Homo-oligomer: A and B are copies of this chain.
Amino acid sequence: MDTALKALAEPRRREILRLVWSDELGATAIADRFPDVSRPAISQHLAVLREAALVTERRDGTRRLYRANPQTMAELRRFLDDFWTSGLERLRDVAEAAEHRARSRPGHDTDPDTRTDTDTHTDKETH
């Protein structure tokens, strides 16, 4: 998953992914869209995308046709959605915790020094 994000962080690879999103394209056809870069460079980018499972490869004669892998894209999207929303949940948790404190201990709502310890994060990236 980390591999996929790193692969996506490269603009050229995002372009490539867009090219093979709906169309199956051979490596040469892809490289032709990038006149400023050599064909082996594209080949290496494709290898990175393939290792990240962001594209699938299919052989047809001497050609290798690439296409975006929607499954990995969906997984990555879910991972990022989790990333965004987990933060929001943390915000909500903090707010609720504050509310609980205020409600269960009326008159003692100031507890400023123990507040910054939110050790409640589940390690989502190590898998």
Contacts and interface: CB of A to CB of B under 8 A. Distances in A.
Interface in A2-29: 2, 5-6, 8-9, 11, 14, 17-19, 21-23, 25, 29
Nearest to A119: B33
A125 interface: yes
The interface size bin for chain A is: 20 to 34
**Copies of this protein, total:** 2
Contacts of A116: 23, 25, 29
A118 interface: yes
A121 interface: yes
- Identify which of A5, A86, A121 gathers the most chain B CB atoms within 10 Å of its CB: A5
Contact of A88 (B17, B22, B87, B121): B22
A21 B14 CA distance: 27
A110 to B, nearest CB: 12
A90 interface: yes
Interface of A: 2, 5-6, 8-9, 11, 14, 17-19, 21-23, 25, 29, 33, 68, 73, 77, 80, 83-84, 86-88, 90-91, 94, 98, 116, 118, 121, 125
